[in-house]
């Protein structure tokens, strides 16, 4: 069986680059959506806020500065080929070393504390990363990394809906969550929704949904329609850019789904600010035989 050998240093360098890049360079999908919103926004204050966000993101890219001071907690979605062998170290260590270097050498803010309740001491290097790994068939490692800010993370919610709630119940929970968040998560937001699976799978899918470009739709036309309808309903709420009023409260709604149990219909809503940061890369190794 052909395997591929990937050096731990390749993983570290890739993670470092992805985290620095995503904090400096906003995705084209988001920039296009901001410019489109600027054209269509009817609130003068909202228009002014959008203009400042666009200018900010342009300055960040030109000067290679983080677009937001909250450079987030590092979250990675990894598709790990089952024929990959890591040389000279462990995968997890290599990822955390990449986080350490990105946040140190990239002048990103270290925002992680060691213990959630008692100590709350800053780890000073933004580790550990939150790593979601899926073993796939293949001999490469594909990584999508992002820095997740907590102004919006704190506005997220999960609910264990049951089947009788149906489509309407799902939509209502998503709208209620966005409404409760109001002006706080730095609108215009990206709404990531995970439906199905178990408690933790729904949450993971919701995060994954925020990492999907907003100019794409769910491949199932029924969910794609739900994405469009929810976006329209959210933009009718009036919160607007920075929550100061307007018709641009969200830039996109992305839904990801999973098979679930006969008794359940979990729904998780992960809210992301307009600085929706993520970047992807594939690492290939050198061949080898076992």
Partner 1 sequence: MTKRITLPIRDEDIKDLRAGDNVLLTGSIITGRDAAHKRLYELMQQGGELPVDIKGELIYYVGPAPAKPGYAVGPAGPTSSYRMDKYAPALMDLGLKGMIGKGARSQEVIDAIVRNQGVYFVAIGGAAALIAKSIKSEEILCYEDLGTEAVRRYEVENFPCIVAIDALGNNVYETEPPKYQTSSK
Which residues form the interface with partner 1 (CB under 8 A)? 42-43, 45-46, 49, 52-53, 55-56, 59-60, 63, 65-71, 107-111, 120, 122, 124, 151, 154, 175, 179, 182-184, 186, 233, 236-240, 242-247, 273-275
Given the complex with partner 1, which of 69 and 286 has the nearer CB atom? 69
Closer CB to partner 1, 212 or 274, in the complex: 274
User: Ramachandran region of residue 197, left (φ > 0), alpha (ψ -120 to 50) or beta?
Assistant: left
With respect to partner 1, which residue has the nearer C-beta, 80 or 239? 239
- State the minimum distance, in angstroms, from the CB of residue 24 to partner 1: 9
Cα–Cα distance for residue pair 167/90, rounded to 1 Å = 44
Number of continuous H segments (helices) and E segments (strands) in the chain: 8, 11
- Order the strands of the 73-81 sheet from edge to edge: 130-136, 73-81, 140-148, 279-284
CA 88, 89, 91, 93 dihedral sign is negative
Residue 154 zone, left/alpha/beta (φ > 0; ψ -120 to 50; rest)? alpha
* Residue 98 or 243 having the CB closest to partner 1: 243
Is 193 within 8 Å of 202 (Cβ atoms)?
no
Q: Kindly list the distances between the CA atom of residue 183 and the CA atoms of 148, 155, 163, 274, in Å, as whole numbers in the listed order.
A: 18, 10, 31, 12
Whole-angstrom distance, CA of residue 175 vs CA of residue 51: 27
Q: Which is nearer to partner 1, 30 or 206 (CB)?
A: 30
- Least separation in angstroms between CB 23 and partner 1: 9
Give the residue with the Cβ less far from partner 1, 146 or 196. Answer: 146
Query: Would you call 171 helix, strand, or coil by DSSP?
Result: helix
* d(C-alpha 269, C-alpha 96), whole Å: 27
Q: Which is nearer to partner 1, 33 or 49 (CB)?
A: 49
Pairing of strands 157-161, 130-136: unpaired
């Amino acid at each position: 069986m052909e395997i591929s050998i990937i050096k731990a240093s390749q993983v570290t360098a890739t993670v470092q680059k992805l985290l620095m890049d995503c904090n400096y360079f906003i995705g084209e999908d988001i920039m296009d959506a901001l410019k489109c919103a600027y054209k269509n926004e009817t609130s003068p204050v909202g228009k002014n806020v959008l203009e400042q966000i666009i200018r900010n993101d342009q300055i960040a890219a030109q000067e290679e500065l983080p677009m937001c001071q909250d450079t987030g907690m590092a979250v990675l979605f990894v598709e790990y080929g089952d024929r990959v062998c890591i040389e000279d170290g462990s995968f997890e260590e290599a990822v955390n070393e990449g986080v350490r270097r990105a946040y140190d050498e990239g002048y990103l803010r270290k925002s992680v504390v060691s213990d959630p309740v008692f100590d709350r001491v800053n780890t000073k290097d933004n580790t550990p990363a939150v790593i979601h790994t899926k073993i796939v068939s293949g001999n490469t490692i594909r990584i999508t990394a992002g820095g997740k800010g907590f102004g919006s993370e704190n506005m997220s919610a999960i609910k264990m809906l049951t089947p009788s709630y149906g489509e309407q119940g799902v939509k209502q929970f998503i709208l209620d969550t966005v409404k409760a968040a109001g002006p706080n998560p730095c609108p215009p937001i990206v709404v990531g929704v995970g439906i199905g699976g178990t408690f933790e799978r729904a949450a993971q899918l919701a995060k994954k949904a925020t990492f999907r470009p907003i100019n794409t739709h769910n491949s199932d036309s029924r969910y794609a329609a739900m994405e469009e309808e929810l976006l329209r309903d959210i933009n009718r709420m009036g919160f607007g850019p920075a929550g100061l009023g307007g018709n641009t409260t969200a830039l996109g709604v992305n839904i990801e789904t999973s098979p679930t149990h006969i008794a359940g219909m979990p729904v998780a809503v992960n809210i992301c600010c307009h600085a929706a940061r993520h970047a992807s890369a594939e690492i290939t190794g050198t061949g080898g035989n076992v």
